[in-house]
Amino acid sequence: MAQSTPESTPPTTPPDPADGADVPATPPRPGRRPWILPVAAVAVIAVLVVGVAVVVTQWDTTVTPDPQRVAELEDEEAELDTTRVAELASLTEETRDALTPVAAELQTSQSAEEAPSDLDSLLTTVEEAEESFTDPPSGTTEHNLAWGGVESSVRLFASALRAHAAASEAEGDLAADLDDHAHTLTGQALASWEVSSGQVEVLAAAADHDVQLSLSAASTTVEENDDSAAAGAIESDPSPATADE
């Protein structure tokens, strides 16, 4: 009797989605939660934001100024500016008085095309004026510019006198060139003084301190005083005929 051969079962082929067959969904793995990562990211970001806010709050050093104290400081500075201007006007006036005879000598020598007399004495006067401007106070921009202008004018007068002194020790063309240079410096010094002293006058007027600092005005006043003194001397001096009587 023949034995029957068992039939082999063909392998099962999974359905192909391309054939339109329904493919069963893969069941999620046990214990896996897909919402965990987004929630964790949001939590971390929130912690960072809160931390930064706390740090910024702790390091915030903003100070609100006291309006009353600000007003007091402004008043003190304004009073100090007024004092500086008054001191500069007084110093410029003293310097003007010292430079008036110097400027007159330089102008005379400029017209005569020769060196002024008594150079050593004139140079000493100007150098003393220079020393008065060696330590400028720190004020407003206008004050500092006016101070610097007057100081530069004084230095130009000193340079003119030094050029004359150098010319007196030189010979020939060099002496003539140095004298010409001194005359040029004299013109620059006179022009510079009129501008810088005018700036001081404007500042002083704003601070209720009226001054006249022009060298030309000072020279005119000196000449008028000299003429008046000479006229007074003539009137007080009796004529020879009157004396004989």
**pLDDT tens profile 142-155:** 999 999 999 999 99
Answer yes or no: are the C-beta atoms of 188 and 157 closer than 8 Å: no
Q: Which residue has the higher pLDDT, 23 or 209?
A: 209
Q: What are phi and psi of 215, to 5 degrees?
A: -70, -35
pLDDT confidence of 14, banded at 50, 70, 90? low
Answer yes or no: are the C-beta atoms of 21 and 15 closer than 8 Å: yes
Distance (Å, whole) CA 149 – CA 136: 12
**pLDDT tens profile 65-110:** 777 767 766 666 667 788 899 999 999 999 999 999 999 999 998 8
Q: Quick count: other Cβ atoms within 10 Å of Cβ 184?
A: 13
Distances (CA, A) of 39 to 52, 53, 79, 147: 20, 21, 66, 72
Domain residue spans in the chain? 79-224
Distance (Å, whole) CA 234 – CA 238: 8
In this structure, what DSSP letter does residue 151 have? H
pLDDT confidence of 225, banded at 50, 70, 90? very low
Answer yes or no: are the C-beta atoms of 204 and 110 closer than 8 Å: no
pTM: 0.63
In this structure, what DSSP letter does residue 114 have? S
Q: Which residue has the higher pLDDT, 157 or 82?
A: 157
Distance (Å, whole) CA 125 – CA 136: 20
Distance (Å, whole) CA 148 – CA 154: 10
pLDDT at 21 (0 to 100): 53
pLDDT confidence of 245, banded at 50, 70, 90? very low
Winning range, highest mean pLDDT, from 4-18, 95-109, 112-126: 95-109
Distances (CA, A) of 103 to 8, 156, 193: 136, 11, 10
Query: Is residue 7 predicted with pLDDT exceeding 50?
Result: yes
Residue 33, helix vs strand vs coil: coil
